[in-house]
């Protein structure tokens, strides 16, 4: 049975500035490769069922995830996902989404770099760089993109005390369920920050699977509360090679044991 890479994206923009950004033409090329090469893009329910042995995914499969809920995910990534009919999940920082909704206006033609986008959020201009609830619901209505928790304020969960942590992750779950009218069983740790207590609190809060930034692939029997992911680089050739490696059990284990992905 093939391992499943869970791909981690943040921004899809024209700015070739950092490890968190993939250019639109590169993202389109990566998605074209998945579609034309016969990869199945799983929803998170399917991934978790596979991990728990409730269903078997035997074909080549990947999971596409985005962290934070940046507006460029709608402007530049969503049209590509629609074109190729590929599934994806976006982990939202619900405080940011609420702020973006409160100030929503005309969509921009372009978006800033990652550092500039963070500054927009910090000074109260989230609507210029973050998805608002109207767009979130529009994307989810496509049947291709689902939204789950990236905590309430994007705080480093490993540094919080138990009470602060419980509020951070339970409030996000509550808001997502209220706004989208469905359960929110999945959480991705902001900045990859978590510890054993954070996992315990998240499980107590009703989360059924937790996503990390730890490099690795998913197989039946993987820990659903420590799901590993692969950071995607701004490179189509790199992407093609890594997909072939990460969906081969022997190659993925060898590769991950000797170098960072």
The number of folded domains in the chain is 1
Q: Would 202 be classed as within a structural domain?
A: no
What global pTM score does this model have? 0.96
Q: How far is CA 58 from the centre of its chain?
A: 23
Please tell me the distance from the alpha carbon of residue 256 to that of residue 175, in angstroms, as a whole number. Answer: 37
Could you report the per-residue pLDDT of 215-249, keeping only the tens digit for each?
Answer: 999 999 999 999 999 999 999 999 999 999 999 99
Of 148, 179, 154, 188, give the one whose Cα is nearest residue 168: 154
Residue 49: what pLDDT? 97
pLDDT at 69 over 60: yes
The residues with which 40 forms a beta bridge, in sequence order, are 61
CB 39 within 8 A of CB 60: yes
Tens of pLDDT, residue by residue over 177-192, are 999 999 999 999 999 9
The answer to whether residue 55 sits within a structural domain is yes
Calpha distance 65→99 (Å, rounded):
22
Residue 260 confidence (pLDDT): 55
Q: Which two tokens stand for residue 192?
A: 């990859």
Q: What is the CATH number of the domain that holds 47?
A: 3.20.20
Residue 160 lies in a domain: no
Q: Within a domain: residue 193?
A: no
Residue 84 predicted with pLDDT over 90: yes
Does the residue 21 lie in any domain?
Answer: yes
Query: Interior CA angle at 175 toward 156 and 201, to 5°?
Result: 45
Kindly state whether residue 153 falls inside one of the protein's structural domains: no
For 138-160, what is each residue's pLDDT tens digit?
Answer: 999 999 999 999 999 999 999 99
**Which runs of consecutive H residues, i.e. helices, occur in 41-89?**
44-51, 72, 78-84
Tell me, yes or no, whether 172 lies in a domain: no
Question: 199 pLDDT exceeds 90?
Answer: yes
Is residue 18 predicted with pLDDT exceeding 90? Answer: no
- Residue 74 domain flag: yes
CA 118 to chain CA centroid, Å, is 18
* Residue 68 belongs to domain spanning: 6-148+215-258
């Amino acid at each position: 049975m093939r391992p499943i890479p869970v791909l981690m994206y943040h921004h899809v923009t024209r700015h070739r500035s950092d490890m968190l950004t993939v250019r639109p033409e590169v993202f389109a090329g990566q998605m074209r490769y998945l579609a034309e090469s016969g990869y199945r893009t799983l929803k998170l329910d399917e991934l978790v069922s596979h991990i728990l042995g409730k269903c078997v995914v035997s074909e080549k499969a990947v999971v596409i995830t985005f962290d934070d809920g940046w507006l460029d995910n709608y402007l530049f990534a969503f049209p590509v996902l629609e074109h190729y009919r590929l599934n994806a999940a976006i982990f939202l920082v619900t405080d940011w989404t609420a702020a973006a909704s409160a100030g929503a206006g005309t969509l921009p033609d372009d978006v800033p770099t990652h550092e500039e986008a963070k500054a927009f959020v910090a000074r109260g201009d989230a609507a210029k760089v973050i998805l608002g609830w109207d767009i979130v619901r529009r994307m989810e209505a496509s049947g291709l993109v689902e939204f789950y928790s990236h905590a309430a304020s994007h705080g480093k969960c490993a540094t919080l005390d138990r009470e602060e942590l419980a509020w951070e992750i339970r409030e996000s779950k509550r808001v997502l369920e209220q706004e989208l009218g469905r359960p929110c069983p999945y959480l991705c740790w902001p900045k990859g920050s978590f510890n054993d207590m954070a996992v315990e609190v998240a499980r107590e809060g009703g989360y059924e699977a937790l996503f990390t930034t730890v490099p690795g692939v998913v197989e039946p029997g993987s820990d659903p509360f420590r799901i590993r992911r692969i950071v995607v680089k701004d490179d189509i050739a790199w992407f093609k090679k890594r997909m072939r490696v990460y969906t081969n059990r022997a190659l993925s284990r060898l590769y991950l044991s000797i170098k960072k992905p």
